C-alpha cells in the first residue's frame, strides 16, 4: 500500500520503511523555531533538563516578532531572555529587530527551508512552510524544549485529506480566497489533526506567495500540517532564495495507491473574492454579498504572516494608488520582513501607502494577535488580511474582525465599508497573480 507525501517524509525521519495514520513515531528534526512569545517558556523548561548545550546550534531559529519592537517592559524582558539564551548557546540564527520580521515568511526568504524536511516551530502557523513540500507543524513550548535537548519530536501520524483545485482563477481571486472557501466547505474543525494536501492545475500555476498563504491557514481548519507538491515554481523560488538542491532535499509525491481519508474536488472558475465574517474563518461570504450589506469599518490591516509578502503589498498598492483611505478608517500596513520592507520602499509601494494615509511599520505580528499597533476598542470593526477573527483576537471581545485578501482590504480602506476591488479599480482588465510575482525582484 502506498503512502502520502506527509507519510513518506515522516517515515524517512523516523527510520521506518512506512508509517500509517494513527501510528506513534519519534522523528528527527531538521530545523526548529521559537519566537518572543514561546521561547521564554521553552528556555525555562530546557534549563530544567540540566543540559548546558542544545542538540545543534545551527538548527535552532529564534525570532522576536509578536511584540517586537518591544511593546512594553514585559515584552522587552521576554526578548532579552531569548537573546541571552541565543548568545549563551551559540545559536547561529537569531534575527534581531531590523534584520528579521515575521518568522513564517522570514525563514523561506532566508533560504532556510527545503523539500522533505521536518520543521517544528513553537507557533501554530508554522504550517505555512509546508508550501515548499515539507512537513511543518507547530508545537507547545515544552515540546520545543525537548526538541532543543534531543533533536527529536514525538508525533502521531496524521491521516491526509486531499484537495484538488480545478479550473482557472477569476479576477482578484487569490490563495487567501481558495483557503477560506475550503475552510468554509469543511468547517473550522473539519481537518482536526489531519494533513491537508493541495494539488491540481490551479495549485500548479499558483505563485509561491499564494501557496504559503494557503498552508498558513490550514490550522484554521484544525489541521496538523498543510503540504504542496514540489514543482518548477517551488524549485525556482528556493533557488532565488539561496537554496540549492542536494542530498538534504527529499522530493516526494503521494503514491497512486496512497490512502486518503477524503478527496475534495473544488472548481475555482466560479469563485470570487470572499470575506470571513465574525467570529470564525469558516463563516465565509462572497465579497459582492459583503459589499451589498454596507458594513462600515474602523480599521483595515494589511499584514501578518498570511498576507504581508511583497506580492500582497503590490496588489494592495495597485488598488490604493491615487486614492486616500476613507476619513473614518485607520489603515495599517506592515510588510512581513525587513527585506520586504526595503524592497517595497525601492518600488515606491510604501510611498503609495503613505500617500493614502496609512501607518506603516517594520515587520511585526502586532495587530494580528491584539498585541499592539492596532488593538481594537469595544464596538469597532476591522477588515484584516490576517488569519483569525475569533472573539477578542485583535483586542476587545466586543470588536468584530473580518478576513479577506489584500485587494479586498485595499478597496475597503478606500470605501470605508467592506467592498469589492472592482468598485475601485476598473482598469486592471488583465488579471494574473503572476503579474504581481516577486520572481523578478531580489525577494
* Cβ count near 397 (within 10 Å): 11
Identify the pLDDT of residue 247: 80
Q: How many domains does the chain have?
A: 2
Same domain, 363 and 223: no
Residue 250 domain flag:
yes
Per-residue pLDDT tens for 165-183?
Answer: 999 999 999 999 999 999 9
Reply yes or no on whether the pLDDT at 443 is more than 90.
no
- 442 pLDDT above the threshold of 80: no
Residue 437 in domain = no
Q: Identify the helix (H) or strand (E) that includes residue 78.
A: helix 73-89
Claim to verify: residue 157 and residue 303 sit in the same structural domain: no
Q: Residue 108's pLDDT is what?
A: 97
**What is the mean predicted confidence (pLDDT) over 114-130?**
98
Same domain, 160 and 204: yes
Supply the DSSP string of 193-232, one letter for each residue: T-EEEEESHHHHTS-HHHHHHHHHTGGGGT-SEEE----H
Query: In terms of domains, do 319 and 366 share one?
Result: yes
Range of the domain at 88: 5-266
CATH assignment of the domain containing 252: 3.30.499.10
In a 13 Å sphere around the CA of 238, the CA atoms on its Cβ side amount to: 21
Q: Are residues 23 and 40 in the same domain?
A: yes
Task: Report pLDDT for 441.
Answer: 60
Same domain, 292 and 233: no
> Which pLDDT score, from 0 to 100, does residue 1 have?
84
Is the CB of residue 173 less than 8 Å from the CB of residue 268? Answer: yes
- Does the reported pTM lie above 0.85? yes
Cis peptide before 394 (omega within 30 of 0): no
- For the stretch 319-376, pLDDT in tens is 999 999 999 999 999 999 999 999 999 999 999 999 999 999 999 999 999 988 999 9
> What proportion of the chain, given as a percentage, has pLDDT over 90?
94
Predicted confidence at residue 277, as pLDDT, reads 98
300 and 169 inside one domain: no
* 353 burial level (CB within 10 Å; 0-12, 13-18, 19+): buried
Cell triple for 94: 537569531
Structural domain contains residue 163: yes
Any domain includes 253? yes
Q: Are residues 279 and 324 in the same domain?
A: yes
User: Do the domain assignments include residue 442?
Assistant: no
Q: Do 283 and 230 reside in the same domain of the chain?
A: no
Q: Are residues 283 and 178 part of one domain?
A: no
Amino acid at each position: 500500500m502506498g503512502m502520502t507525501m506527509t507519510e513518506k517524509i515522516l517515515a524517512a525521519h523516523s527510520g521506518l520503511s512506512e508509517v500509517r495514520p494513527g501510528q506513534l513515531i519519534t522523528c528527527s528534526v531538521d530545523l526548529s523555531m521559537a519566537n518572543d512569545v514561546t521561547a521564554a517558556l521553552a528556555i525555562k523548561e530546557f534549563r530544567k533538563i540540566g543540559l548546558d548545550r542544545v542538540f545543534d546550534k545551527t538548527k535552532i531559529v529564534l525570532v522576536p516578532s509578536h511584540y517586537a519592537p518591544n511593546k512594553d517592559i514585559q515584552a522587552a524582558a521576554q526578548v532579552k531572555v531569548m537573546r541571552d539564551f541565543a548568545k549563551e548557546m551559540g545559536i547561529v540564527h537569531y534575527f534581531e529587530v531590523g534584520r528579521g520580521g515575521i518568522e513564517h515568511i522570514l525563514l523561506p526568504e532566508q533560504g532556510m527551508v527545503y523539500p522533505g524536511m521536518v520543521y517544528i516551530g513553537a507557533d501554530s502557523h508554522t504550517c505555512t512552510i509546508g508550501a515548499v513540500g515539507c512537513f511543518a507543524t507547530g508545537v507547545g513550548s515544552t515540546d520545543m524544549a525537548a526538541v532543543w535537548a534531543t533533536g527529536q519530536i514525538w508525533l502521531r501520524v496524521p491521516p491526509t485529506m486531499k484537495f484538488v483545485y480545478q479550473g482557472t482563477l477569476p479576477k482578484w481571486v487569490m490563495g487567501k480566497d481558495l483557503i477560506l472557501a475550503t475552510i468554509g466547505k469543511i468547517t473550522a474543525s473539519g481537518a482536526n489533526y489531519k494533513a491537508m494536501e493541495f494539488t491540481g492545475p490551479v495549485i500548479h500555476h499558483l505563485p509561491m506567495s499564494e501557496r504559503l498563504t494557503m498552508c498558513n491557514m490550514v490550522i484554521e481548519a484544525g489541521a496538523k500540517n498543510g503540504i504542496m507538491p514540489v514543482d518548477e515554481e517551488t524549485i525556482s523560488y528556493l533557488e532565488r532564495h539561496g537554496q540549492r538542491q542536494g542530498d538534504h532535499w527529499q522530493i516526494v509525491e503521494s503514491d497512486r495507491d496512497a490512502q486518503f481519508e477524503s478527496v475534495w474536488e473544488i472548481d475555482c472558475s466560479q469563485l470570487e473574492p470572499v470575506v470571513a465574517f465574525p467570529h470564525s474563518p469558516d463563516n465565509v461570504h462572497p465579497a459582492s454579498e459583503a459589499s451589498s450589506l454596507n458594513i462600515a469599518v474602523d480599521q483595515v490591516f494589511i499584514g501578518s504572516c498570511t498576507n504581508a509578502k511583497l506580492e500582497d503589498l503590490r496588489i494592495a498598492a495597485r488598488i490604493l494608488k491615487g486614492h486616500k483611505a476613507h476619513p473614518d478608517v485607520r489603515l495599517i500596513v506592515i510588510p512581513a520582513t525587513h527585506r520586504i520592507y526595503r524592497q517595497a520602499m525601492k518600488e515606491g509601494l510604501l510611498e503609495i501607502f503613505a500617500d493614502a494615509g496609512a501607518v506603516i511599520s517594520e515587520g511585526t505580528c502586532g495587530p494580528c494577535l491584539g498585541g499592539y499597533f492596532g488593538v481594537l476598542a469595544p464596538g469597532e470593526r476591522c477588515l484584516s488580511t490576517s488569519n483569525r477573527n475569533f472573539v477578542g483576537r485583535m483586542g476587545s471581545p466586543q470588536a468584530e474582525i473580518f478576513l479577506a485578501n489584500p485587494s479586498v482590504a485595499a478597496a475597503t480602506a478606500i470605501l470605508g465599508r467592506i467592498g469589492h476591488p472592482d468598485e475601485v479599480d476598473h482598469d486592471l482588465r488583465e488579471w494574473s497573480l503572476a503579474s504581481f510575482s516577486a520572481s523578478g525582484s531580489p525577494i
